[in-house]
Structure 1
Amino acid sequence: MAGRSRKRPRPQSPTPAPTRPPPAPTVAASANNGPRTIPGFVWDAEKQRYFPAASRSATSSQQRDELRETRRIQQVEQTQQQPAQVKDTPALPLILRQRSLNQRPMCSSDRLRFMHLNGSTSRVINTNGQSSVSALAIASDSQQAAVGHRDGSLWRAELGDSTHPTAVALLGGPGELVSVRRIADRFISAHLGNEHSGGGLVAIAGRSRLRYADSSVFTASGPPLCGPLNTAVGLTGRVSVAAISDARMIEVFSAQTKTDILSTTFALDSPHVFIGGGRDGRVRIFDTRAASAQHDRKRGLFSAALALQSSVHGVGAHGWRLAAASMDSAVRMWDVRMPDERRSGLFTADDCFGDLQRPLEMLSATRLGFAVYQDLVAAAGSDNQIRIWSMSSGDKLQTIVLPPSAATCAAIDLTLSPAGLPTLIYGQSSSVTCLQASTQ
């Protein structure tokens, strides 16, 4: 048997524990002395501990600030690199952005001139005795007048100084004649059309005749200033401007509306700005320099609160004042200047400074005579009276009583001679009467 060794087994030494890096200092800062400055570490007051200066927790706020600043710089650079976007809008007409200071106030001489008109001798113009008069227009020289009838016939009356003015029949148009204007050397007439023929716009110069065919032409008017021979045409659900040449008529502008345009007129200070009166009683302003898409179907180009209670059959403008007549025998006049540049709207209902005419016994849905010449407004009432106002002051200048036995006055026109004496023509039934003031 083998002998046992007397040596005692050596005790096995324990396995040494793995060495770890020393932990980061976690010594809290003294409330009295504040955090200590340790190189390479940053004190976090919220977590009450130190963090390495390069750690994410310590630099997150700085990174957010740097990112925010970088984005701001990029946005500024992109804005500077983009070309400036200039909105292509026409300049506002003078009637909307200027206050006229040279408007002549009404004086006593205005009433004196129209007193002679009321006492002057009336002269009857013999034209078509079978059809009622529907439209009248005096030429700029006050020597001629265009007389339109419901049967579509058009006559040229020589006023002159004779006791019995003569009339010559011109080429008639299709359907009822509802509007006539003397533009340059042409007579422009608008016809509604009937069951036999369609309506249209007819331009007559001498024996030549041009036609702008459309089934529903309600009115036509030309600019008072010298320039292109344009005509604003009121149509069904839209308005257009036609350029008239010796050979043809070309449509140069068109804008859609929510209603029929029954009356048009150009602004006195611009051949591009014109006003249209609608069947819905609203008055719209258009500018041919602006695109058709910029015109609102309800308000036109400029926001407006110009409206009457019924269809507007006549409009007229003088500088910054606008007059309109409706089918309910009401005439209103507005000051369409912008009183305050800070106002969001160009017009308000308070801008109306005069209900010029509203007879007690009015004929509903009746188109009566209405005319505007410079700062004068003439309108016929259902009581067989013609009233004349001054647009500069809003005062009534004269009231002319018509024969009670005749029919209501359906057409009227007014002009002033170079000496300032008024000439007035009006139509009752199939007869036309001319009143010329004289100081003799």
Structure 2
Amino acid sequence: MLQKFKEHINKKFPFLKEQKILIAISGGVDSVVLTHLLKKLNFDISLAHCNFNLREKESDLDENFVNNLSKKLDIDCFTTSFQTKEISKENKESTQITARNLRYELFQKLIEENSFDVVLTAHHSDDNLETFLINLTRGTGLEGFTGIPEINGNIVRPLLAFSREEIVNFATKNNIDWREDKSNASTKYTRNKIRHNVIPVLKEINPSLLETFSNTIKNLKESQQIIDDKIGDISREIISKKEGFLKFDVSKLQQLSNPKAYLYQLLKEYNFMEWNDVFQLLSAQTGKQLFSKTHVLLKDRDFLILSRIEEKNTATSYFIEKNISKITEPFLLSIKKVTEISEETKNNIFVNENALEFPLIIRKWENGDYFYPKGMQGKKKLSKYFKDEKMSLLEKNQTWLLCNNNNDIIWVIGKRQDRRFYVKNMPKIINISILNS
């Protein structure tokens, strides 16, 4: 197996030779064999072990085993203990989900703190088959049948081409010790039921099941790539990007052969679950919204508008006292005295200091607000200004105003200045600008 593994690395993961590697090790045969293989091939490796405290003394014995292995092989080891059950109760999620999240959060932390390039996990082809069958029983789209990715960001899985049988045989022939998780023999969990009750029957029907499955995964990945290419083309036609959100053209979506399927592909990464409701949003009235854990999808006339859900800010107004040069809430704003007017933009205005009454106020717009737009005659209601500018409901809701102490609007921030506060020959000039950072 060592030679086969070496050839596999040279073919699929040659970049690993020059990288600082962190191996996720449980003490089980898979991760222990991965450690021995990489050590024999002289890779720059360290170990990371999570003690989830889910199996009483057994969890501590696993940790001791990993620490002893690291000393024996003369490699660094990072061990971390979690009170997983307590954390899962606090987060109201299963212990399995909690353990997985804690594990990957730890990996990323260790990467940042110790300059590791990648994390290697010991998933193998049997794990891949089990995941495929779990997704099959629960229901999934095509991406759920394309298997565990060999590379996902800085997570690399170099053993996916090898079976559990190959791994165990290598350990046995080379007198490599490992820890056996007794819970793996239990059929309490879905994965174990499939591992012990389903896969043996499938292998009896087809002794070459893993090889056949590998070819199937390859074919499905190629099919998924065709879909991804098509979605990329469709995205360029349908989606326009604006600062902070995406706009989806409803009429173009409705012209597609299967709008619901395309919506799924376009929006699947944004954590929406109720796809019938997403589809019905195409024909909904303006103002209808759907929420995922991370995003909101808004119907606004001829568009669906997607934006990230930000932490709610309870403050509705902010005050700027005289001689303040910068504020950070609700965004970064610079206020400084200057001697002349330079380049004016939507994000950079100049006002007459003599016309200002402090403290200035930053607030959200309200019905009935009006201002005197610079470059235009007369006054205009903000609602009419927004309509003329063809601003979406989302854009309107995100609009802030800079006002004088008497509530006169100085600036529709980032959009249009009020002409009452601007004259070409100002005796005293204040420059107000939005800062990027």
Q: TM-score, normalised by structure 1?
A: 0.18
Query: Which structure dedicates a bigger proportion of its chain to strand?
Result: 1
Please say which structure displays the higher CA radius of gyration. Answer: 1
**Bigger relative contact order, structure 1 or 2 (CA pairs below 8 A, ≥6 apart):** 1
